Amino acid sequence: MRVLPVLFCLLLGGCGRALPPADFTFINGAEPETLDPHVVTGQPEIRLCEALFEGLTSRDGRGAIIPGIAEKWDVSADGRVYTFHLRAARWSNGDPLTSADFLNSWRRALEPLTASEYAYQYYPIVNAQAYNTGALSDFAEVGVKAPDPQTLRVTLSAPTPYFLDLCACSTLAPIHLGAMKQWGEDWIKPGKLVTDGPYTLGAWRINDRITLVKNPHYWRARDVAFRRIDALSLSSATTAFNLFHSGEAGLILDKSMVPAFFIDALRSKSYFHSQPIYGTYFYRFNVTRKPLKDPRVRLALALAVDRKRLVDRITRAGEPPAGTFVPPGIGGYTPPEGMSYDPARARKLLAAAGFPGGKGFPVLSVLYNSSEQNEQIATEIQDMWRENLGISIELRNQEWKVYLNSLSELDYDIARSSWVADYPDPNTFLDCFMSGRGNNRTGWSSARYDGLIEEACRQPDRAARYALFRQAEEILSQEAPIAPLYNYVAISIYRPDHLGGFFPNAMDEHPLRELFWREPAP
């Protein structure tokens, strides 16, 4: 027993070394899977990548597109050729940043070996998809050229009005290939990562924190207020709140870091902020199974859901009920009227489909991934369908990876789903339900719908393009392979009298370079 105190003292040396204090600490959510901008997909990672890497364009605190490494750009009359003129920017190690860096980085992002999940953000570029899927091996045939060190010319297959938005995404950011070559897999580690954004990587302690240190070579370094930022990786919402209340964190950005049972009590607090974002929670119907093959049945189910009851009773964070898949206002687009709560019409449709009063309707199941809220929503809808249509529904709960497997293999009747915009344009939503798309996962297919989306993608005129999208979305609402339920909200916790430069916006993008403490600093 005498060894125990000795062991105790020895192991105390194992306590982490204290890191220098940060100017600003925030709760970023789960531990980032990587900081490689070409492969990141989650919000916690993207947020940090946008502080480390800057693309041709960037976003300001309100979510608007502004020049990034490209000082300016010209667009050809047909909207297909973008010529970017780069500023005299530098990497964090002092190396000049040229158009060749973009060209080579984009090639790397598109190589199948990189296995970039978001590589489709390059697909508007001529031959990018073919190169990414291995159908084309010569990158010279992809529509990206670097005629001189300060110019990058990009040729698109069709006018893509949201292309400048894509240029601000991490997937299209440049990386320092020299450092990558030098360090191999370790190139994204502190001391090795070379960045072109407002910050460099100071430290990375797994499951603890990522320290961002101001990049002196960043072209707008003078406008960056915080010299050192700590992004905390947490998985407990209660801990996040304790840290916020004890003043050890100035901002909570991840919605999952706000305890759901607290929301009612928090709504009136001055530090609680919620804002609708471009994201939709919806149910998918497996149209390959009876009786969901019949659009009247699907529409009946969709019309028998009281969405307001769902957001008032269950989600309770101010989510707007959704009758359409595309949230209102995305890129200035106004969706069609969509689905509303109409139990009488729902009953008529079900009767017309051969199930008057729900008689003879088989017991279908609703599949959802394990989560308290998903279960509550499914239970509420189960009640609504019983009350309004006289049908019984079973609930089927699966663990995340098993649920994803069931979705992909169409092993479900009705399934809970969600979609959040990658860029502010209706296409990011509507493209999902084109025939054969990997994200369709309903078995639904409509040649008319596909034609309208394809035509919209070729259409340079914004109003005409939106009219085509609207027609397509009307088909989606009539044929109902999905039932939109509500739009998401982003929740952030911060004291606006202390923290400046933070603006709630529908893309839920909050560049760290824009944040500052108001005087006097807390």
Closest separation between CB of residue 133 and other proteins, Å?
A: 4
Closest separation between CB of residue 354 and other proteins, Å?
A: 34
- Phi-psi bin for 478: left (phi > 0), alpha (psi -120 to 50), beta? alpha
36 binds other proteins (CB under 8 A): yes
| Structure-token pair, residue 56 | 């041709």
DSSP state, residue 111 = S
340 binds other proteins (CB under 8 A): no
Helix, strand or coil, per DSSP, at residue 245? helix
142 binds other proteins (CB under 8 A): no
C-beta closer to other proteins: residue 290 or 437: 437
Which of 72, 227, 245, 359 touches other proteins by CB under 8 A? 245
What residue type is 7 in one-letter code?
Answer: L
Closest separation between CB of residue 108 and other proteins, Å?
A: 13
277 binds other proteins (CB under 8 A): no
Closest separation between CB of residue 520 and other proteins, Å?
A: 22
Which of 264, 399, 461, 497 touches other proteins by CB under 8 A? 399
Which of 60, 71, 95, 208 touches other proteins by CB under 8 A? 208
Start-to-end CA span in the chain (Å): 48
Strand order in the sheet with 228-233: 199-205, 209-214, 228-233, 24-29, 251-252, 482-494, 272-285, 414-420, 364-369, 393-398
- Phi-psi bin for 219: left (phi > 0), alpha (psi -120 to 50), beta? alpha
Would the CA dihedral through 226, 227, 232, 238 be positive or negative?
Answer: negative
235 binds other proteins (CB under 8 A): yes
Cα distances from 359 to residues 292, 341, 390, in angstroms, run 15, 22, 8
Cα distances from 40 to residues 46, 49, 91, in angstroms, run 6, 8, 21
Which of 76, 288, 334, 408 touches other proteins by CB under 8 A? 408
Contact (CB, 8 A) for 169 and 121: yes
C-beta closer to other proteins: residue 9 or 363: 9
Which of 75, 100, 158, 402 touches other proteins by CB under 8 A? 402
C-beta closer to other proteins: residue 244 or 361: 244
206 binds other proteins (CB under 8 A): yes
Selection from 394, 383, 453 nearest residue 425 by Cα: 453
Binding letters toward other proteins, positions 489-518, x by CB under 8 A: ------------------------------
Selection from 280, 272, 287 nearest residue 330 by Cα: 280
Binding letters toward other proteins, positions 429-458, x by CB under 8 A: --------xxx-x-----------------
21 binds other proteins (CB under 8 A): no
Selection from 269, 275, 251 nearest residue 514 by Cα: 251
401 binds other proteins (CB under 8 A): yes
Which of 238, 334, 340, 392 touches other proteins by CB under 8 A? 238
Q: Where on the chain is the footprint of other proteins (CB under 8 A)?
A: 1, 4-5, 7-8, 11-12, 14-19, 31, 33-34, 36, 39, 41, 112-120, 132-134, 185-189, 205-208, 232-236, 238-239, 242-243, 245-246, 248, 399-402, 404-405, 408, 418, 437-439, 441
